[in-house]
């Protein structure tokens, strides 16, 4: 067999992925098997593969492949999300830079045409990249949240919620992004500490030029929107002021001084200007005191004429702020300016400072949707892994505000609400919510009694839905559950597990759960596996803006998909952030190479009917017995790991089983000496076992396992690793496992001695065993002597009833061994080591005896634990006896 010593991944990956896909292994249709279903967290259509996606999708692929190997009907639905704000921003930039077109110069229809052009050209690259990773998605089911059917579902849901009274249009204080000119959800606002200026400004009494009250504000330009000054009713400094009137600086509009408990006596000056249109708290205070609302800001953040101060009208809020300093100084209202550290909210998308703003928006009534979604998680109807994310979920669900689902964008599902053109904008009294304009017209005719109304008399809402108001329908809509509620969704829903980062637990996870119960009366998934964030070595979240994310495709090139998958999985316990280190992918690549070379070894053997040496046969049979038993033991723990989503543990267990037990021990035991053949039985079992190992590892490292699986032996068409049955644990011979483990310990001890005394690797030495029942038990297994001889490079094993003189002796387990190393032994050193060991064993014995002397321990500990302590005591006693004898006989 002519195989390179290095495993070459690139060609293998491309070949097998194409083969799997062409064989239809990825696609799923309902049948009588148990389904195992995952819907992908749809990445932004604009996205390119990054570390987070790779982690996420590796986990999903592992689960899907495992389910497929378990004989389930595995269905993994891929797709992308239209990501309204992010995509629209990209398209706007693209138009500006490439096409030299400004969005403002386009009609809605023109813009959308360009947007679809852009999407067709640049969108969905990520799905292509996922194939490189090995993701075994059912590509025929690929869904995009703006697909016709999906789009319609969003509209249908909007209408449905409106009719049920769970959706309303209302005036609310929202987070406004003046740059994108759209409302933002709370989750899209990022707060961070920044230094800003605190302006102390004096408001003079209405009828007094001398006396005034000083307020503190960071936004002096908003004073034109002030409608009151509030003080705490319990603040003695200001008690006499309550009820008086003061004048807004510069424009001299009189406003009252009111009392409200909200005002913090200790903060600022203890007097607070009230600006209901531009601050959420002020808005609430304004409501309490029935104060008017003056909105002085335009949508783009410039001041409008309502501020009543001509010099600043039309200026940007920050420019206005800069000028206010001079103006207030000159007019004598400015008391002082202080530097001040505060949290400033910025738009996640545009980084513009967010402006609180009153606005007419559409809201979903969360009080209606949240309770069943909360209950499902608390009752563990939906299980979280790790479980403690329940806390996060709970606190959020118990403190919900209504969900603002309208966005002032064009890229998205347009809100299906129509108004009468005759009514002024934002003051509409008639609202018609319907699937189509025609239906809306029908409603309008009925509502107004005017049969002559036409479509021309109607105006559709300009806004689109929040992206999450489409992605929350994902698990239902991808199976066409709205239009065909009795169709295949009945087979696939609820899905099996959702794999996603914990950062979108609110955006997406919670809302999907709500949608599941609201629209299907059933949870959308049985379990949620939360992945951590992938961070760099400085613990920073990996992001494009920081440029600290390694190029995902380059990683795949350098280490192979299997290597990268290994790297990601080997340090990613559910929910824990992982500090990504390329070194881990290197481990994965090395592991591939190890497997590859094991294949080269095995395939290089000559096979004979049987071996000439009886010793070889005995040894090989023992090796096979041990390997079978150990594999069963490992499979048992693997099943437990999979059941509780402990995937890293499962991978690690396989890694050490393959590398250590299979390669370092098993193959070394059965490896024939140079140019000698191996007996057919052992060979066949080994090929079989090797194949099973590949199947067991396949979910984690699909490509190399498929390749090796096929190279191990001729496979009939369709006999691919990906569609085998996962090996199952059987009852196994624990005794063999135990005794071989003891033998391994003995071999290690012998190698240690050989190393210490620099015995040549090939030089075979005779081993002496001091006769004892435990030694007889160990060597009683057929093939055990031959096994130890081979791996420890021994010429023979001799039994001693008496200690031979002047020979190196050592302990392993409770047995004593002698090794004739043909060298002068350093007795001084030996004595020291023996004494050290003896001291340790005596201390150990003492602690065990103390334990056993404790009546309460013996009475309350489980019998097995007590029994084990007794065994430990016996072993310790045996060791101490041997050590004492050896010491006594040691030449001085």
Partner RNA sequence: GGGCGCAUAGCUCAGUUGGUUCAGAGCACCUGCCUUACAAGCAGGGGGUCGUAGGUUCGAAUCCUUCUGCGCCCACCA
- Measured from the CB atom, the residue of 185 and 477 that comes closer to RNA is 185
Q: Which of 408, 590, 610, 777 binds RNA (CB under 7 A)?
A: 590
Answer yes or no: are the C-beta atoms of 637 and 727 closer than 8 Å: no
Ranges within 328-387 binding RNA (CB under 7 A): 342-343, 345
- Beta carbon of residue 860, minimum distance to RNA (angstroms, whole number): 4
Ranges within 201-220 binding RNA (CB under 7 A): 215-219
User: Which residues are CB-contacts of 781 (< 8 A; sequence separation ≥ 6)?
Assistant: 622, 736, 739
Q: Which residue has the tokens 């101490």?
A: 880
| Distance from C-alpha of 727 to C-alpha of 414, rounded to nearest angstrom | 52
- Measured from the CB atom, the residue of 235 and 299 that comes closer to RNA is 235
For RNA, which stretch binds (CB under 7 A), given 61-69, 85-93, 686-694, 751-759?
751-759
- Measured from the CB atom, the residue of 173 and 444 that comes closer to RNA is 173
Q: Which residue has the tokens 């039994």?
A: 799
- Measured from the CB atom, the residue of 158 and 596 that comes closer to RNA is 596
- Beta carbon of residue 669, minimum distance to RNA (angstroms, whole number): 10
- Measured from the CB atom, the residue of 495 and 587 that comes closer to RNA is 587
Within a 10 A sphere around the Cβ of 805, how many other Cβ atoms? 7
- Measured from the CB atom, the residue of 316 and 558 that comes closer to RNA is 558
- 436 binds RNA, rule: CB under 7 A: no
| Distance from C-alpha of 477 to C-alpha of 484, rounded to nearest angstrom | 10
- Beta carbon of residue 272, minimum distance to RNA (angstroms, whole number): 4
- Beta carbon of residue 479, minimum distance to RNA (angstroms, whole number): 31
| Distance from C-alpha of 429 to C-alpha of 419, rounded to nearest angstrom | 8
Q: Which residue has the tokens 């979240």?
A: 541
Q: Which of 751, 831, 842, 873 binds RNA (CB under 7 A)?
A: 751
Query: What stretch of H or E contains 193?
Result: strand 189-204
What would the two tokens of residue 859 be?
Answer: 């009475």
User: Which residues are CB-contacts of 183 (< 8 A; sequence separation ≥ 6)?
Assistant: 174, 175, 176, 177, 357, 359, 361, 404, 406, 407, 408
Q: Which of 327, 392, 607, 685 binds RNA (CB under 7 A)?
A: 392
- Beta carbon of residue 574, minimum distance to RNA (angstroms, whole number): 9
Query: Shortest CA distance to 70 belongs to which of 60, 79, 62, 59?
Result: 62
For RNA, which stretch binds (CB under 7 A), given 120-128, 238-246, 420-428, 599-607?
599-607
Q: Which of 21, 457, 488, 577 binds RNA (CB under 7 A)?
A: 577
Phi and psi at 246, nearest 5°, equal: -125, 165
What proportions of the chain, in percent to the nearest 5, are helix, strand and coil? 50, 20, 35
Coil vs helix vs strand at 854: coil
- Measured from the CB atom, the residue of 30 and 280 that comes closer to RNA is 280
- Beta carbon of residue 118, minimum distance to RNA (angstroms, whole number): 30
CA angle 262, 263, 264 (to 5 degrees): 115
- Measured from the CB atom, the residue of 799 and 840 that comes closer to RNA is 840
664: which DSSP letter? I
What would the two tokens of residue 32 be?
Answer: 């009588």
- Measured from the CB atom, the residue of 48 and 663 that comes closer to RNA is 663
- Beta carbon of residue 520, minimum distance to RNA (angstroms, whole number): 28
- Beta carbon of residue 174, minimum distance to RNA (angstroms, whole number): 12
User: Which residues are CB-contacts of 648 (< 8 A; sequence separation ≥ 6)?
Assistant: 569, 570, 571, 572, 573
Q: Which residue has the tokens 């998605």?
A: 137
Answer yes or no: are the C-beta atoms of 658 and 627 closer than 8 Å: no
- Beta carbon of residue 475, minimum distance to RNA (angstroms, whole number): 23
Ranges within 752-811 binding RNA (CB under 7 A): 752, 755, 758, 761
What would the two tokens of residue 166 be?
Answer: 């769970």
Ranges within 871-890 binding RNA (CB under 7 A): 872, 875
- Beta carbon of residue 274, minimum distance to RNA (angstroms, whole number): 9
- Beta carbon of residue 528, minimum distance to RNA (angstroms, whole number): 16
- Measured from the CB atom, the residue of 308 and 573 that comes closer to RNA is 573
| Distance from C-alpha of 726 to C-alpha of 245, rounded to nearest angstrom | 81
Peptide bond before residue 494 is cis, with ω within 30 degrees of 0: yes
| Distance from C-alpha of 288 to C-alpha of 276, rounded to nearest angstrom | 11
- Beta carbon of residue 117, minimum distance to RNA (angstroms, whole number): 35
Q: Which of 510, 740, 747, 811 binds RNA (CB under 7 A)?
A: 747
For RNA, which stretch binds (CB under 7 A), given 243-251, 361-369, 508-516, 660-668?
660-668
Q: Which of 156, 166, 383, 671 binds RNA (CB under 7 A)?
A: 671
Ranges within 394-433 binding RNA (CB under 7 A): 395-396, 399
Ranges within 470-509 binding RNA (CB under 7 A): 506
- Beta carbon of residue 325, minimum distance to RNA (angstroms, whole number): 15
For RNA, which stretch binds (CB under 7 A), given 122-130, 176-184, 464-472, 572-580?
572-580
- Beta carbon of residue 661, minimum distance to RNA (angstroms, whole number): 11
Ranges within 812-851 binding RNA (CB under 7 A): 851
Answer yes or no: are the C-beta atoms of 302 and 315 closer than 8 Å: yes
- Beta carbon of residue 359, minimum distance to RNA (angstroms, whole number): 16
Q: Which of 857, 873, 884, 885 binds RNA (CB under 7 A)?
A: 857
Alpha-carbon torsion, ordered 627, 628, 634, 636, to 10 deg: -170
Query: What stretch of H or E contains 194?
Result: strand 189-204
Query: What stretch of H or E contains 656?
Result: helix 647-656
Query: Shortest CA distance to 65 belongs to which of 698, 572, 570?
Result: 698
Ranges within 170-199 binding RNA (CB under 7 A): 186-187, 191, 198
Coil vs helix vs strand at 606: coil
- Measured from the CB atom, the residue of 244 and 751 that comes closer to RNA is 751
What would the two tokens of residue 405 be?
Answer: 């689902």
- Beta carbon of residue 401, minimum distance to RNA (angstroms, whole number): 8
Q: Which of 106, 337, 353, 667 binds RNA (CB under 7 A)?
A: 667
| Distance from C-alpha of 129 to C-alpha of 301, rounded to nearest angstrom | 40
Q: Which of 125, 308, 327, 579 binds RNA (CB under 7 A)?
A: 579
| Distance from C-alpha of 528 to C-alpha of 512, rounded to nearest angstrom | 12
Query: Shortest CA distance to 412 belongs to which of 182, 715, 713?
Result: 182
Ranges within 630-659 binding RNA (CB under 7 A): 640, 644, 646, 649, 652, 656, 659
Coil vs helix vs strand at 53: helix
What would the two tokens of residue 332 be?
Answer: 């004598």
Q: Which of 37, 77, 183, 592 binds RNA (CB under 7 A)?
A: 592
Ranges within 264-293 binding RNA (CB under 7 A): 264-265, 267-273, 279-281
Within a 10 A sphere around the Cβ of 826, how many other Cβ atoms? 13
Per-residue x/- mask for RNA, residues 76 to 115, rule CB under 7 A?
----------------------------------------
- Beta carbon of residue 85, minimum distance to RNA (angstroms, whole number): 17
- 236 binds RNA, rule: CB under 7 A: no
Number of residues that bind RNA (CB under 7 A): 87
Coil vs helix vs strand at 365: coil
| Residues counted in the chain | 892
């Amino acid at each position: 067999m002519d195989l390179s010593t290095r495993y070459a991944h690139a060609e293998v990956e491309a070949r097998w992925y194409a083969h799997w896909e062409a064989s239809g292994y990825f696609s799923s249709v309902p049948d009588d098997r148990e389904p195992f279903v995952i819907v992908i967290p749809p990445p932004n259509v604009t996205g390119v593969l990054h570390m987070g996606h790779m982690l996420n999708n590796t986990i999903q692929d592992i689960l899907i492949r495992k389910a497929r190997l378990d004989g389930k009907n595995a269905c993994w639905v891929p797709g992308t999300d239209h990501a309204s704000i992010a995509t629209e921003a990209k398209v706007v930039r693209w138009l500006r830079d490439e096409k030299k077109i400004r969005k403002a110069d386009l009609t809605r229809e023109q813009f959308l045409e360009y947007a679809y052009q852009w999407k067709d050209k640049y969108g969905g690259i990520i799905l292509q990249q996922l194939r490189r990773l090995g993701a075994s998605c059912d590509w025929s089911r690929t869904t995009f949240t703006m697909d016709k059917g999906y789009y319609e579902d969003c509209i249908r849901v909007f209408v449905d919620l409106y009719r049920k009274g769970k959706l309303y249009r209302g005036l609310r204080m929202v987070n406004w992004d003046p740059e994108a000119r759209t409302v933002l959800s709370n989750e899209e606002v990022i707060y961070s500490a920044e230094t800003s200026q605190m302006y102390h400004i004096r408001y003079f009494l209405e009828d007094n030029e001398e006396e005034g009250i000083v307020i503190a504000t960071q936004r002096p330009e908003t004073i034109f929107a002030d409608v009151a000054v509030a003080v705490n009713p319990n603040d003695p400094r200001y008690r006499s002021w309550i009820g008086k009137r003061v004048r807004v600086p510069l424009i001299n509009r009189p406003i009252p001084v009111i009392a409200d408990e909200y005002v913090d006596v200790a903060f600022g000056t203890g007097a607070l200007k009230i600006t209901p249109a531009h601050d959420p708290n002020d808005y609430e205070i304004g409501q309490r005191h029935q104060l008017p609302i003056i909105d002085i800001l335009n949508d783009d953040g410039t001041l409008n004429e309502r501020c009543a101060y001509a010099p600043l009208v039309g200026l940007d809020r920050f420019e206005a702020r800069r000028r206010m300093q001079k103006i207030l100084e000159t007019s004598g209202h400015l008391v002082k300016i202080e530097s001040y550290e505060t949290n400033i909210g910025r738009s996640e998308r545009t980084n513009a400072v967010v402006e609180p703003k009153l606005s007419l928006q559409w809201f979903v009534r969360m009080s209606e949707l949240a309770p069943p979604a909360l209950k499902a998680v608390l009752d563990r109807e939906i299980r979280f892994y790790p479980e403690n994310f329940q806390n996060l979920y709970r606190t959020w669900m118990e403190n919900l505000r209504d969900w603002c689902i309208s966005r002032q964008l064009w890229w998205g599902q347009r809100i299906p609400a129509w108004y009468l053109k005759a009514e002024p904008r934002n003051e509409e009294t008639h609202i018609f919510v319907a699937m189509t304009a025609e239906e809306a017209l029908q409603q309008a005719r009925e509502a107004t009694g005017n049969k002559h109304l036409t479509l021309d008399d109607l105006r559709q809402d300009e806004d689109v839905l929040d992206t999450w108001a489409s992605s929350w329908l994902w698990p239902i809509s991808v199976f066409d559950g709205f239009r065909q509620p009795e169709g295949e969704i009945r087979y696939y829903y609820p899905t099996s597990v959702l794999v996603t980062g914990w950062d979108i637990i609110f955006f997406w996870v919670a809302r999907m759960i709500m949608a599941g119960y609201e629209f299907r009366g059933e949870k959308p998934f049985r379990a949620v596996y939360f992945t951590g964030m992938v961070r760099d070595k400085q613990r920073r979240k990996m992001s494009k803006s920081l440029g600290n994310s390694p190029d995902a495709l380059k990683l795949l090139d350098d280490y192979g998909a299997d290597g990268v998958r290994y790297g990601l999985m080997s340090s990613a316990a559910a929910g824990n952030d992982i500090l990504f280190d390329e070194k881990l992918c290197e481990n994965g690549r090395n592991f591939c190479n190890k497997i590859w070379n094991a294949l080269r070894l095995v395939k290089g053997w000559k096979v004979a009917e049987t071996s000439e040496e009886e010793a070889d046969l005995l040894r090989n049979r023992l090796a096979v017995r041990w390997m079978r038993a150990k594999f069963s033991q490992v499979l048992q723990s693997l099943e437990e790991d999979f059941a509780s989503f402990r995937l890293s543990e499962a991978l690690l267990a396989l890694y050490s089983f393959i590398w250590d037990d299979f390669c370092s021990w098993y193959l070394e035991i059965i490896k024939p000496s140079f140019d000698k053949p191996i007996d057919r039985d052992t060979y066949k079992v080994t090929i079989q076992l090797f194949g099973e190992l590949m199947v067991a590892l396949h979910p984690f490292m699909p490509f190399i396992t498929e390749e090796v699986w096929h190279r191990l032996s001729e496979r009939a068409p369709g006999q691919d690793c990906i569609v085998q049955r996962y090996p199952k644990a059987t009852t196994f011979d624990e005794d063999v496992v135990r005794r071989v483990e003891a033998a391994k310990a003995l071999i290690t001890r012998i190698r240690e001695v050989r190393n210490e005394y620099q015995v040549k690797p090939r030089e075979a030495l005779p081993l002496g065993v001091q006769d004892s029942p435990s030694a007889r038990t160990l060597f009683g297994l057929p093939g055990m002597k031959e096994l130890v001889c081979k791996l420890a490079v021994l010429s023979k094993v001799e039994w001693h009833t008496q200690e031979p003189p002047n020979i190196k002796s050592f302990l392993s387990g409770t047995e004593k061994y002698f090794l004739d190393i043909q060298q002068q032994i350093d007795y001084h050193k030996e004595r020291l080591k023996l004494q050290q060991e003896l001291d340790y064993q005596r201390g150990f014995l003492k602690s065990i005896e103390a334990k056993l002397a404790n009546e309460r321990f013996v009475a309350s500990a489980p019998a097995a634990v007590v029994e084990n302590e007794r065994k430990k005591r016996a072993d310790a006693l045996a060791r101490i006896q041997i050590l004492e004898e050896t010491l006594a006989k040691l030449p001085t």
